[in-house]
Structure 1
Amino acid sequence: MPIRAPSICQCGRAVQSGSRCPCRAQADRERKARHDQARPSAQERGYNGKWQTARKDFLASHPTCAMCGASSTVVDHRIPHRGDKKLFWSRSNWQPLCTSCHSSRKQSQERRA
């Protein structure tokens, strides 16, 4: 099976196929840290005790992941609420997902949108 040739990073280093240049990985870590500093806490975004109770009740009545059928562990907002309390609490906007689907499929869908 042929191996893809290394690529050249912006910093000038040759990077093997399938891996990332350390300078790009460091830049990503710094960018994510800056984003996290500006992001409100979960409590400030509405994920408080009232949410935990509603989440627990919803998962009890919707035990399987809407994407793969595994056991659901996350209540996902189909349409990102972006701070809109009405959309946040609208149960018709909620869907049960497993952690794997929420962390991979759903996040990649949101990035594309």
Structure 2
Amino acid sequence: MARRTQRSPEAERYRRLYKTAAWMKARLAQLARQPLCERCRRRGIVRAATVVNHRVPHKGDWSLFIDPENHESACAPCHDGEIQSAERLGYSKSLAPDGTPTDPAHPWNAD
């Protein structure tokens, strides 16, 4: 049985970029430069990064896709959870220690 994809038709079009030699080289360079999950580190957790996230979603834009300044080392739980959730929703659901949302775009922060 074929696995169903959850990607949008737009995402399916640029999926091929992840198979290029340039991306594989950029990915390895990022993980060598920062082998720990950057989001976990900010919370005081030490966890190996296995995914290179694009800070600004590239949506097929090659310059954003390959730009090392747009790369962030992440663990799979952060990437597949909070990062993808924020991309889908348009805001992060991350909370400050006092329980308030940290993202100014969060609906709780609306006037």
User: Shared fold (TM-score greater than 0.5)?
Assistant: yes
Please, what is the CA RMSD of the aligned residues? 2.5
Map 1:49-64 onto structure 2 (within 5 A). Answer: 49-64=21-36
Identity of aligned residues (%): 37
3-state SS, counterpart of residue 15 of structure 2:
coil
- Segments of 5+ residues of structure 1 without an aligned counterpart are 1-28
Contact 2:26–2:66 under 8 Å retained in 1: no
Which amino acid in the other structure matches residue 35 of structure 2? P
- Distance between the aligned counterparts of 1:87 and 1:41, measured in 2? 12
- Segments of 5+ residues of structure 2 without an aligned counterpart are 42-46, 91-111
Q: Which residue of 2 aligns with 1:42?
A: 15
- Distance between the aligned counterparts of 1:68 and 1:42, measured in 2? 26
Give TM-score scaled by structure 1 length: 0.62
Q: Which residue of 2 aligns with 1:77?
A: 54
- Distance between the aligned counterparts of 2:66 and 2:25, measured in 1? 12
The higher-RCO structure (CA 8 Å, 6+ apart) is 2
- Structure 1 or 2, whichever has the larger Rg, is 1
Compute the displacement of 1:30 (Å).
7.6
Figure out how many residues of one structure are paired with residues of the other and give that number. 81
Which amino acid in the other structure matches residue 37 of structure 2? C
Contact 2:54–2:71 under 8 Å retained in 1: yes
Q: Which residue of 1 aligns with 2:82?
A: 105
Bigger shift: 52-61 or 96-105? 52-61
Give TM-score scaled by structure 2 length: 0.63
